Amino acid sequence: MLKRYFRLNDDVYIPGRWDLGTPMDAQGRNLDDWLFRKGTPLPIDGRLRIPLRGGEGTVLDFTEAGLGVPVVSARVASIFAAMAPGDMQLIPVDVEAHAEPFYILVCTHLVKCIDDEKSGEVQYWKPEDGRPEMTGTYRVVYAMRIDPTKVGDAQVFRTRGYEGDLIVSEDVKQALERVGATGIRFTEVTGPAVNTPEELERHRKRRELFEAADTARETAWRTLGSLDKEVFMPIAMSGAWPGQRQLWSVIRRGAGRTLLVTHGLSDPFIERLEPSVGFGLELALEVDAAVKDISKGWPLLLLDRVADEVAEHEQVREGVKAGLFSMEVSGKGMPKSLVTEEGRVAVLLGVESRTLPSHFSTPYGEVKLVTVKVLLPSELAYLLEHGAEGLAELARRFVESGEEHLSRLKRKPVA
């Protein structure tokens, strides 16, 4: 009898759950999330720590921090250590405001076992995609199925060629269920083929909807500068985003500037699988530097935190759509010049730009492009003192300065 295996996912639908940020080193620098997910051991110097995003929440035994980094409690770590000592590495990590021990689970075992025929749908990178180094490799695998005869004795592994998925054996699954481990969602990747006519039709419709949305957004991005296809931005799953996929794009602009945009807040809603513009907006953050390592820089960290607030809170989305809107997010890992005494960073959303459009078109409707401008602490103080009038006045002064939506670390405050 063939063994059964399961994909291990973060259960993002748990109400009131905590939200863990990107792992940081002892100096407070953000680490590349992909390092923990590529299936190889990591040489780690010093103790790592992980910030909380959005305040306290329900502590879970299994959480994907940052972009898909598995973080486990001590009791779950002990199960993996006992059942799969040769398949993974446990890295101690301090979670903000929590004294109990946690660990980053780094799977170090790669297995080439994806069953293309039994998976719901498989897409490969093509020459016309503009990523020659990726041509012929997996781009997307929907409803993945594996060939269990190729797994061997592995209890925990990632699939070679498509390393984003963490797979466990049925024995590990049952051990986790026996202790009541929280935060985990299991999806079987063995068993009967999923490509029934109904499922094939669902995958086909999803692919068509998402591809049309992707193409429309990329067309819009190319009018704003050079779309950087060399930057690898791994897809993260997020139940709060309409398509449950958290995507970003990088656009190189004149004068050495870099424009980061969300690429998925206007996805069609995956549950409905019908044409729509999702939340009807995307966010844009431009900085005055040719950011090379996007994944480690503060601009993506800031945009990620702002996007989380927009995706998770309807009242925030409505405020953003209505016009100028300000918010504060965690200042963990952000440049000191931007962080308030309370450890927060403020942004102003919706400042009109002379070089960015306010909307762009998709086959499913118009999408609002919302600028994100980082504020200096003194500007936040001015805003808090003057309320709505201060909001409008700040925007007016930014426009007057000639850098209405541009975010810079070194500039004079306008208030």
Boundaries of every domain in the chain: 5-195, 200-407
Q: Which of 285, 250, 295, 224 lies closest to 407, judged by CA? A: 285
pLDDT score of 4: 95
**pLDDT value of residue 118:** 86
Amino acid identity at 83: M
**What is the residue-averaged pLDDT of the chain?**
90
Residue 397 burial (10 A CB sphere; 0-12, 13-18, 19+): middle
Alpha carbons 33 and 339: distance in angstroms, whole number: 23
Residue 363 vs residue 290, higher pLDDT: 363
| 114 vs 238: which has the higher pLDDT | 114
Which of 12-26, 42-56, 304-318 reaches the highest mean pLDDT? Answer: 304-318
pLDDT of 226 reads 93
pLDDT digits (tens, 9 = 90+) for 101-119: 999 999 999 999 999 988 8
pTM of the model: 0.69
Q: For residue 218, which of 256, 247, 246, 254 has the smallest C-alpha distance? A: 247
Burial of 128 (0-12, 13-18, 19+ CB in 10 A): exposed
Kindly give, in sequence order, each residue whose CB lies less than 8 Å from that of residue 219, ignoring residues fewer than 6 positions away.
none
Confidence bin at 76 (pLDDT 50/70/90): very high
Confidence of residue 236 (pLDDT cuts 50, 70, 90): low
Max mean pLDDT among 123-127, 197-201, 254-258 falls in: 254-258
Identify the pLDDT of residue 223.
96
Question: Is the pLDDT at 233 greater than 60, yes or no?
Answer: no
Highest mean pLDDT among 39-48, 111-120, 191-200, 217-226: 217-226
Per-residue pLDDT reduced to its tens digit, 41-50: 999 877 899 9
Residue 296 has pLDDT above 70, yes or no: no
Q: Is 39 left (phi over 0), alpha (psi -120 to 50) or beta?
A: left
pLDDT in tens, 347-379: 999 999 999 999 999 999 999 999 999 999 999
CB 350 within 8 A of CB 323: yes
Lowest mean pLDDT among 29-38, 109-118, 189-198: 189-198
3-state secondary structure 206-236: HHHHHHHHHHHHHHHHHCCCEECCCCCCCCE
More confident residue, 15 or 318: 318
